[in-house]
Structure 1
């Protein structure tokens, strides 16, 4: 594939994936009006199976990423769009490279309530009687820590689909044919809600102190073949340096911890001039035990900073918490 064209792969399901990929295409076209950008949609295993936990498909990487990346290897695509938090952090993808990271959206998590419910009701009850849905192990652990009286429900689907199910009082079917729900609330990323025009549904912002974000949350990444220099040069037009620096620090934490899809690991880097502060934490699945740390260092050495933070967590016993969350057949 050559010439003034670029084919980008993305998930077929979900308004957020479409919006993110369209933003990549818009930025590329604004840099070169002669570039023909085509968006190719894929139905991934994670989209086809809306009931199983993501671990069944090898985590988010297997559920949403592997099929699209295979198309790059086959030469069908130049590049692929990802929410960076969905890329596995404990293993690299042979012969592929993240060539661009868009400017970061809000990284924090947010609470969305079913229509008719109020945040005051939830506060007064301390969550007792509330069913809160999420498909992220990290979010579930934080929710159990913040609302110990609430019932945390495994709830899958694209953000717009989950909110529709929430408002309609729909049940979530699990892989063993059981149904759970309906939910009273969801915990989702603010960036996703903003991209699909549903930011007005935010009932509560969780500060990073309450719920530290996932590594890469709020960053849209574009991956391509390592040796495809024409594509890498084009993607370099839209690469955002602050986002890339933060992403490298946060993903280095995952690499050090050998983080996997069932690990309640959080990592978030904040830039301030020439300095960077890296925060990270590990929880047990029930949210009862929390190990956290932070370090400050030069912003131009993000991996070194992330590595130091990861080893801090290991020194404090993070490996034991991560091992407890690992599936028995992993």
Structure 2
């Protein structure tokens, strides 16, 4: 009897390959009889590296080609960083499993300074995220935020070889690639709220592929699933992405979900932050409710000023 072959679609960066290999190892641990192949697909986000994400379409640039391959049945599943996934998925595709979350925080990396507050006046900080930019400028209006694109290794090389005083990355990717030697501070998630889905790895597949759904079921980490569902509902209600300074982070305490959300102006001068909590079995309603509360408390005005409301 021929073994079932599962094709995993992934981007080709070191971090994306690490994530896809992790999914492969989990699939094989649960189903040793499978043959699991990696299919590397280059996305627009990998090709366009000299323009800030916000100016070329935001998060969807890292997933569109993978989703096209799924719909064409060239691959069986796609592995994504959840923070890169748009809030809405194409018809016929579904988020079918989310793995246990790594550290969701942002980290400050520097070869010269010991913390965000130790950076000198007018320090140059590299970041590709408007969410990070607005929150950093709220704490340190003097900072010079410079757009920084590329994979984790590329950005760390730029920190070392170019005139950056510091850069900010997601802790999860730095830890997964064992590149923590330049980390000088794990940023407080109450001050620099992480991106929706940050630290979590998601598996996307065709929603009618029942055999694959059964194979993937053991990989889903329910506490992470609930938190990320709340964060994504929050994001979807605000219709946000990389090009919007929106942050949302959920934590689970027993049967209660706690969700912290923020909308900020690009310069960090205006910032609205609210939190809510509710029963874990209804994460979507929690995310939607917090989004509406933020819009009513002034978030709508901020998004309109940015040109996105």
Which interval holds the TM-score relative to the shorter structure? over 0.9
Count of aligned positions: 308
SS in 2 for 1:129: coil
Aligned residue for 1:78? 76
Counterpart Cα distance in 1 of 2:136 and 2:170:
14
**For 1:276, which of 250, 257, 266 is the aligned residue?**
257
Counterpart Cα distance in 1 of 2:126 and 2:16:
20
Structure 1 gaps of 5+ residues are 170-181
Aligned residue for 1:4? 4
- Contact 1:262/1:326 (<8 A) preserved: no
- Contact 2:49/2:149 (<8 A) preserved: yes
- Contact 1:78/1:224 (<8 A) preserved: yes
Counterpart Cα distance in 2 of 1:228 and 1:3:
17
For residue 3 of structure 1, report the CA deviation from its aligned partner.
5.6
SS in 2 for 1:145: helix
Q: How does 1:251-330 map to 2 (within 5 A)?
A: 251-326=232-307
Matched, 1:245 2:226: yes
Q: Deviations over 1:241-282 (max 9, x none)?
A: 011100110011111112133111111111011111111011
Aligned residue for 2:62? 64
SS in 2 for 1:119: coil
**For 2:154, which of 148, 161, 166 is the aligned residue?**
161
Matched, 1:106 2:100: no
Counterpart Cα distance in 1 of 2:21 and 2:280:
30
Aligned residue for 1:18? 17
Output the aligned Cα RMSD.
Answer: 1.6
Decide whether aligned partners of structure 1 residues 96 and 130 sit closer, same or farther in structure 2, where only a CA change above 3 A counts: same
Counterpart Cα distance in 2 of 1:66 and 1:92:
10
Decide whether aligned partners of structure 1 residues 228 and 57 sit closer, same or farther in structure 2, where only a CA change above 3 A counts: farther
Counterpart Cα distance in 1 of 2:30 and 2:242:
36
For residue 57 of structure 1, report the CA deviation from its aligned partner.
3.6
For residue 56 of structure 1, report the CA deviation from its aligned partner.
4.2
- Contact 2:276/2:286 (<8 A) preserved: yes
For residue 305 of structure 1, report the CA deviation from its aligned partner.
1.0
- Contact 1:11/1:18 (<8 A) preserved: yes
Q: Deviations over 1:203-229 (max 9, x none)?
A: 011111110011100000000011111
Matched, 1:150 2:148: no
Counterpart Cα distance in 2 of 1:268 and 1:102:
16
For residue 201 of structure 1, report the CA deviation from its aligned partner.
2.0
Counterpart Cα distance in 1 of 2:94 and 2:186:
33
Matched, 1:228 2:213: no
**For 2:125, which of 112, 120, 132 is the aligned residue?**
132
SS in 1 for 2:219: coil
- Contact 2:257/2:280 (<8 A) preserved: yes
Counterpart Cα distance in 2 of 1:57 and 1:149:
27
Structure 2 gaps of 5+ residues are none
Q: Deviations over 1:297-328 (max 9, x none)?
A: 1111111111111111011121222233347x
For residue 184 of structure 1, report the CA deviation from its aligned partner.
1.6
Counterpart Cα distance in 2 of 1:320 and 1:95:
35
Q: Deviations over 1:138-171 (max 9, x none)?
A: 00111111221111000100011100121112xx
- Contact 2:131/2:242 (<8 A) preserved: no
Counterpart Cα distance in 1 of 2:306 and 2:23:
35
Counterpart Cα distance in 1 of 2:160 and 2:246:
30
Aligned residue for 1:123? 117
Decide whether aligned partners of structure 1 residues 289 and 315 sit closer, same or farther in structure 2, where only a CA change above 3 A counts: same
Counterpart Cα distance in 2 of 1:206 and 1:29:
35
Counterpart Cα distance in 2 of 1:325 and 1:41:
36
Runs of 4 or more above 6 Å deviation:
none
Counterpart Cα distance in 2 of 1:324 and 1:69:
33
